[in-house]
Chains A and B, each alone.
Chain A
Amino acid sequence: MARIKLLPESVANKIAAGEVVERPASVVKELIENSIDAGATEIWVEVRKGGVSLVRVRDNGCGMGREDALLALARHSTSKISEASDLFCIRTMGFRGEAIPSIAAVSRMELTTKEPGALSGTRISAEGGKVGDVRDVGAPDGTEVVVRDLFFNTPVRRKFLRSERAETSQIASTVISEALSMPRIGFTLIADGEELIKAPAVEKSLDRISSLLGPEIAKGLLICEGKRGAISLAGFISGPELTRGTRADQHFFVNGRAVQDKILSFAIADACSGILPAKRHPVAFVFLEIDPSEVDVNVHPAKREVRFRDASLVRDLVRSALSGALGGSGMFRESGVSPFADAVREPEDGYQTKGGGGVFERAPIAPPTVGYLPWEGSDVLLDEKADRFRPIGQIRNLYIICEDAEGMVVVDQHAAHERILFEKVMAIHEKGKGELQSLLLPVSVSLSAAEAALMDGYRETFRSLGLGVEAFGKNAVKVDHLPACLGDVNPERLVRDVLGELMEEGRGRAVRDGIAEIVARKVCHAAVKRRDSLNAEQMQKLIDDLLKCVTPYTCPHGRPTMFRMSKAELDKKFGRT
Chain B
Amino acid sequence: MKLKCDREEILQALQMVQSIVSSRATLPILSNVLIEAGDEELTLTTTDLEVGMRKTIKAKVTKKGAITLPAKRLLAILRELPVSEMTMEATDQREIVIKYDASYFRVLGLPKDDFPPLPDFLKHRALKTPQKPLSELIRKTHYAISTDESRYVLNGLHLIFSKGRITGVATDGRRLALCEIAANVPEGFDRGIIVPTKAVNELGRILSGDGDAEIFVGENQAAFSANGCTLVARLIEGHFPNYQQVVPQKSEHKLLVDREELLAATRRVALLTSEQSNSIKVTLKKNRLVASSNTPEVGEAREELVISYAGEEFSIAFNPQYLVDALKNLDDKEITLELTDSLNPGVVRSGKSFLYVIMPIRVS
Are B359 and A338 within 8 A (Cβ)?
Answer: no
* Residue B249 CB within 8 A of the other chain: no
A300 vs chain B, min Cβ distance (A): 37
Are B116 and A356 within 8 A (Cβ)?
Answer: no
Could you give, for residues 215-249 of chain B, a 1 whenever the CB lies within 8 Å of some chain A CB and a 0 otherwise?
00010110000000000101011000110011000
Are A440 and B151 within 8 A (Cβ)?
Answer: no
Are B246 and A441 within 8 A (Cβ)?
Answer: yes
Interface residue ranges of A485-542 to B (CB < 8 Å): 485, 488-493
Surface stretch bound by B, among A37-45, A144-152, A153-161, A342-350: A342-350
- Complex: A333 Cα to B363 Cα, angstroms: 38
Are B173 and A440 within 8 A (Cβ)?
Answer: yes
Q: Is the interface of B mostly helix, strand, loop or mixed?
A: loop
Interface residue ranges of B155-186 to A (CB < 8 Å): 171-176
Are A436 and B118 within 8 A (Cβ)?
Answer: no
Are B117 and A334 within 8 A (Cβ)?
Answer: no
Are A340 and B52 within 8 A (Cβ)?
Answer: yes
A216 vs chain B, min Cβ distance (A): 12
- Complex: A355 Cα to B23 Cα, angstroms: 11
Name the A residues within 8 Å of B237 (CB-CB). Answer: 333-334, 337
Could you give, for residues 427-455 of chain A, a 1 whenever the CB lies within 8 Å of some chain B CB and a 0 otherwise?
01000111111111101000000000000
Name the B residues within 8 Å of A350 (CB-CB). Answer: 49-50
- Complex: A438 Cα to B176 Cα, angstroms: 13
Closest partner residue, chain A, to B275 (CB atom)? A485
* Residue A424 CB within 8 A of the other chain: yes
Are A440 and B27 within 8 A (Cβ)?
Answer: no
Q: Is the interface of A mostly helix, strand, loop or mixed?
A: loop
Known: A339-B221, A340-B49, A340-B117. A439 touches B149 (CB 8 A): no
Known: A349-B27, A358-B24. A439 touches B49 (CB 8 A): no
Known: A241-B152, A337-B220, A350-B50. A438 touches B319 (CB 8 A): no
* Residue B210 CB within 8 A of the other chain: no
Interface residue ranges of B307-364 to A (CB < 8 Å): 317, 319, 343, 345, 357, 359-364
- Complex: A355 Cα to B116 Cα, angstroms: 22
Are A346 and B278 within 8 A (Cβ)?
Answer: no
Are B118 and A440 within 8 A (Cβ)?
Answer: no
Interface residue ranges of A315-350 to B (CB < 8 Å): 333-334, 336-340, 343-344, 346, 348-350
* Residue A481 CB within 8 A of the other chain: yes
- Picked from B150, B175, B363, the residue with its CB within 8 Å of the CB of A436 is B363
* Residue B146 CB within 8 A of the other chain: yes
- Complex: A466 Cα to B237 Cα, angstroms: 32
- Complex: A55 Cα to B241 Cα, angstroms: 44
Q: How many A-B contacts if CB must be within 8 Å?
A: 129
Are A441 and B241 within 8 A (Cβ)?
Answer: yes
Name the A residues within 8 Å of B148 (CB-CB). Answer: 488-490
Closest partner residue, chain B, to A337 (CB atom)? B220
* Residue A85 CB within 8 A of the other chain: no
Name the B residues within 8 Å of A438 (CB-CB). Answer: 174, 343, 345, 359-362
- Complex: A356 Cα to B50 Cα, angstroms: 16
- Complex: A489 Cα to B237 Cα, angstroms: 20
Known: A337-B220, A441-B241, A484-B319. A349 touches B48 (CB 8 A): yes
Interface residue ranges of A458-492 to B (CB < 8 Å): 466, 481, 484-485, 488-492
- Picked from B152, B232, B246, B319, the residue with its CB within 8 Å of the CB of A437 is B319
Name the A residues within 8 Å of B236 (CB-CB). Answer: 333
- Complex: A334 Cα to B153 Cα, angstroms: 13
Residue contacts A-B, CB under 8 angstroms, 12 given: A340-B47, A343-B117, A344-B49, A349-B48, A349-B49, A350-B49, A432-B364, A436-B364, A438-B345, A438-B361, A485-B277, A488-B174
Identify the B interface with A (CB < 8 A).
22, 24-27, 29-30, 47-50, 52, 115-119, 146-152, 171-176, 218, 220-221, 232, 234, 236-237, 241-242, 245-246, 275-279, 317, 319, 343, 345, 357, 359-364
Q: 7 closest Cβ contacts across the A-B interface? A: A343-B116, A340-B116, A438-B359, A356-B24, A490-B150, A339-B221, A440-B246
